[in-house]
Chains A and B, each alone.
Chain A
Amino acid sequence: MEKSRPLWDNPLQFVFACISYAVGLGNVWRFPYLCQMYGGGGFLIPYFIMLMAEGMPLLYLELAVGQRMRQGSIGAWKTISPYLCGVGIASVVVSFFLSMYYNVINAWAFWYLFHSFQDPLPWATCPLNHNRTGYEEECEKTSSTQYFWYRQTLNISPSLEASGSVQWEQALCLTLAWLVVYLCILRGTASTGKLEQLANPKAWISAATQIFFSLGLGFGSLIAFASYNEPSNNCERHAIIVSLINSTTSIFASIVTFSIYGFKATFNYESCLNKVILLLLNTFDLEEGSLTVDNLSEMKDYLMATHPQEYAQLSPQLKNCSLEAELDTAVQGTGLAFIVYSEAIKNMEVPQLYSVLYFAMLLMLGIGSMLGNTAAILTPLTDSRAIATRFPKEVISGAVCFINCVIGLIFTMEAGNYWFDIFNDYAATLSLLLIVLVETIAVCYIYGIRRFEKDLYTMIGRKLNWYWKLMWAFASPLLIISLFIFYLTDYILTGTLQYQAWDATKGQLVTKDYPGYALAMIGLLVASSIMCIPLGALVTFIRKRLKRESVSTTA
């Protein structure tokens, strides 16, 4: 007899946990970027098709597996087939990598949140230089928000090789972020509960990828959450609800993000025009009011004709201000969240209020997703009898948080943001595709879809719709395989991988090649999680062989 498994207090708690896990920072900073790159509203078509074909079926699959097997990812896949224990281990490894670097984002959000209680906001103005005659040189070349992000938050080094030292301020924020996560997972399940271009194949691939990663498939978090369900829970309905809410949040976030883009673009365009006007007025000693926004282009031609030499001297400084260029600067990731948004916020009325609200929202999204990740790591650990009997739950959670925090200090170094980008781009992408592919094939063909259908009928009480069966057996695996092939060929064809480094002298990002050891690290990240699957099967095979031989010799 086994001690009864802790349960969610009610199904709503489970739904909220899944939503808070799935709705993360990607909804805010990745989805709007993709919409902008692939034709705006038109992107919704491949997005929703992929949601129906890939997102919802796979989400339902993971929830059903967790609810049926009532164990974390390692135990669940071991029950399906002993050779598949590697899949669970791979999920835990990927979750571990993710939790290492993801909490750094929460640390940054805390940093910005704490700095929001000042007037004026620290990223609104540039700091002064030594003799107080002007602003800092680096800040002059770029904008005050970018300066605050690259210099005062990250204190970024010019390249990956120049590691620099650990920034104590960021380390403190990271420690706080991990303490918050520890506080939330301390009590286990109960506390987690109390988240034209259509012809362009890239648009479809991006839609598929976005749905895939946005729902957080393959990390084992959904299996972990579902394992704490009552067996009779209607996970089919919950799968649909969670995926729809996730997509709705993405769309809502895009609407807000686009209005922020528009505001920022207009503001920057007008500032650019004013700067050009001031420069021309000062150089040619023109009367105030003679140069306005409306007659700027005619006046520029006139000045070019009448004073060609001076104009030629001035022309490198004269930027062609264009609203389209401002709108086209699509940004994603940390750049959007911490630069573009903070730039928009600093120009609003009562910026402190909006800043606090915005970074508190980012924190909530980030911590919600972190709780899902840590659940993916902790559930298999607490399930395994070897560890759970020796150490209480608080100690295991504390150990996991502590180890991740210490490793996460790497990302608080001066070159930390480059390592962050490496982890963000490569730690979870290819491995997750393979993990979910193996999961789908395992459930459909190794465990048997008819057997699974019967289990679901026992649990939910309703026959499995032909739509789910079709998606699980054919559509989703095919989609994942094609995504996988696409990404592999893309990586191979691009050749050397490159990254964007911040150049302090120019005040902008420059492209550099990754050094050898960084490429090795990328390879290690991808290989260590993928290799778990065949290794797990091999180890089980060898173990069985040895058992059989030892039994036959004794018999």
Chain B
Amino acid sequence: MIIFVFTVCRISNVLLCNVTDRVSFWFVVTDSSKNVTTVPGSEVEAAIRMNRNRINSAFLLSDKTLQFVKITSTLSPPVEPSTPVWLIVFGVVLCLILAGIVFLVVAGIHQRKKKNKKSTERENIEEKCEVTITVENGIPCEALDLKAGHINGVFAADDERFTSL
């Protein structure tokens, strides 16, 4: 790991060149301890990449408003919890639904057992006089207009048998 310490605080040789409409500047970093040689571009790039936040805040700017040409900013990834949130919600909903299903199935079995017991008791004790809907050949009676004649489905099908005689 390379740690850069900005010890040189002398700003010199500010020249005007390549004037653009935009606020822009070129800079060269020199290392006075090593015979005033320019620090190679790759090292400067690496330094800027690491200290981007500090440089931005010095100018009161952000990655979007201060652009270093050819240095793409490292984007921060979104915060991800260890277990994805959706699995947790899924688990909660799944447990609720399964509990509901189990409850209903068990209640249904319970009810059927009670009904069977009751119906056997009643058959033993008295005649079955519960109100059932009387059905005439698959069509409930109250839906039929018994006054008007209806063609009875079962017999109508066998009509041909009799006419052929």
Q: Smallest CB–CB gap between B153 and chain A, Å?
A: 7
Q: Smallest CB–CB gap between A76 and chain B, Å?
A: 10
Query: Which of A68, A114, A231 has its CB near the most chain B CB atoms (within 10 A)?
Result: A114
Residues of B contacting A458 with CB < 8 Å? 143-145
Query: CA A421 – CA B86 in complex, angstroms?
Result: 26
A115-B97 CB under 8 A given contacts A288-B22, A455-B145: no
Residues of B contacting A176 with CB < 8 Å? 90, 93-94, 97
Are A548 and B101 closer than 8 Å at their CB atoms? no
Are B24 and A285 closer than 8 Å at their CB atoms? yes
Which of B77, B101, B139, B161 has a CB less than 8 Å from the CB of A128? B77
- Map CB proximity to B onto A1-19 as digits: 1 under 8 Å, 0 otherwise: 1111100000000000000
Are A68 and B143 closer than 8 Å at their CB atoms? yes
Which residues of B (78-123) have their CB < 8 Å from a CB of A? 78, 85-87, 89-90, 93-94, 97-98, 100-101, 104-105, 108, 112
Are A179 and B105 closer than 8 Å at their CB atoms? no
Query: CA A182 – CA B108 in complex, angstroms?
Result: 14
Query: CA A278 – CA B70 in complex, angstroms?
Result: 16
Which residues of A (157-190) have their CB < 8 Å from a CB of B? 172-173, 176, 179-180, 182-183, 186-187
Query: CA A133 – CA B67 in complex, angstroms?
Result: 14
Which of B100, B133, B145 has a CB less than 8 Å from the CB of A4? B133
Query: CA A552 – CA B163 in complex, angstroms?
Result: 13
Tell whether B134 is near chain A: CB-to-CB under 8 Å: yes
A548-B143 CB under 8 A given contacts A134-B72, A288-B22: no
Which chain B residue shows the least CB distance to A182? B101
Tell whether B17 is near chain A: CB-to-CB under 8 Å: no
Q: Smallest CB–CB gap between B33 and chain A, Å?
A: 32
Interface size, chain B (Cβ < 8 Å): 44
Interface size, chain A (Cβ < 8 Å): 56
Residues of B contacting A110 with CB < 8 Å? 90, 93
Which of B72, B86, B139 has a CB less than 8 Å from the CB of A111? B86
Are A172 and B75 closer than 8 Å at their CB atoms? no
Provide a sorted-by-A list of 7 A–B residue pairs whose CB atoms are within 8 angstroms: A114-B93, A115-B86, A133-B75, A179-B97, A183-B104, A231-B142, A281-B22
**9 closest A-B pairs (Cβ-Cβ)?**
A287-B21, A114-B86, A285-B20, A133-B72, A114-B89, A2-B135, A179-B97, A458-B145, A285-B22
Knowing that A286-B22, A394-B105 are A-B contacts, what are 12 other residue pairs whose CB atoms are under 8 Å apart, sorted by A's residue number?
A1-B132, A70-B140, A75-B138, A120-B78, A128-B75, A128-B77, A132-B74, A135-B75, A187-B104, A282-B67, A285-B22, A457-B145
The interface of chain B, by Cβ under 8 A from chain A, is 20-24, 67, 72-75, 77-78, 85-87, 89-90, 93-94, 97-98, 100-101, 104-105, 108, 112, 131-135, 138-140, 142-145, 148, 153, 157, 160-161
